[in-house]
Structure 1
């Protein structure tokens, strides 16, 4: 149950979303539409700001990327890496043994 944001991905978010050190990027679970994931019928949404209690996080380039407690179940069986490939954000899900 790990969230890992690469330095390059953090820089991408800072530039594309005009973020500053101390800002928060929340990943949350939604049905359909959005960023495809390892969970069938679920996708990821993203918002800027801090909401709820942070359960899983990674801080890179001064930005806190996180899942709050309500959505942390999403990574119970997976580790999620956020990287840049071909100048676009890519999400990589690896099955973990924390079931």
Structure 2
């Protein structure tokens, strides 16, 4: 599995989470919400340590990642994280 994060999304993360070099953002699976990959589950975000990485993306000294225990959600597909200017929010594209 591979994670890609667009430059506009990186700027959104830096602004929303007040990120500095050495920080990490964990993308995690949560119960509920409007996920399009696994019924009844969706993705969440947190400025927190990634203990057992399953997939990582690094940019400007900041690590974005998914724990190995959450890889089941993606069914061996890749994740692209984009920013929607129209909705002023992050969008997850799993393909």
Shorter-chain TM-score tier? 0.7 to 0.9
Structural mapping, 1:27-46, within 5 Å: 27-33=27-33, 36-46=35-45
Question: 1:11-36 CA deviation, whole Å, 9 max, x = no partner?
Answer: 11001111111110001111103x63
Query: Matches of residues 75-94 of structure 1 in structure 2 within 5 Å?
Result: 75-86=74-85, 87-94=88-95
Q: Which runs of 5+ in 1 are unaligned?
A: 95-99
CA positional deviation for 1:54: 1.0
Greater strand content:
1
How many residue pairs get matched?
93
Give the alignment's TM-score, normalised by structure 2.
0.84
Normalising by the residue count of structure 1, what TM-score does the alignment of the two structures yield?
Answer: 0.82
Q: Is the 8 A contact 2:78 2:94 kept in 1?
A: yes
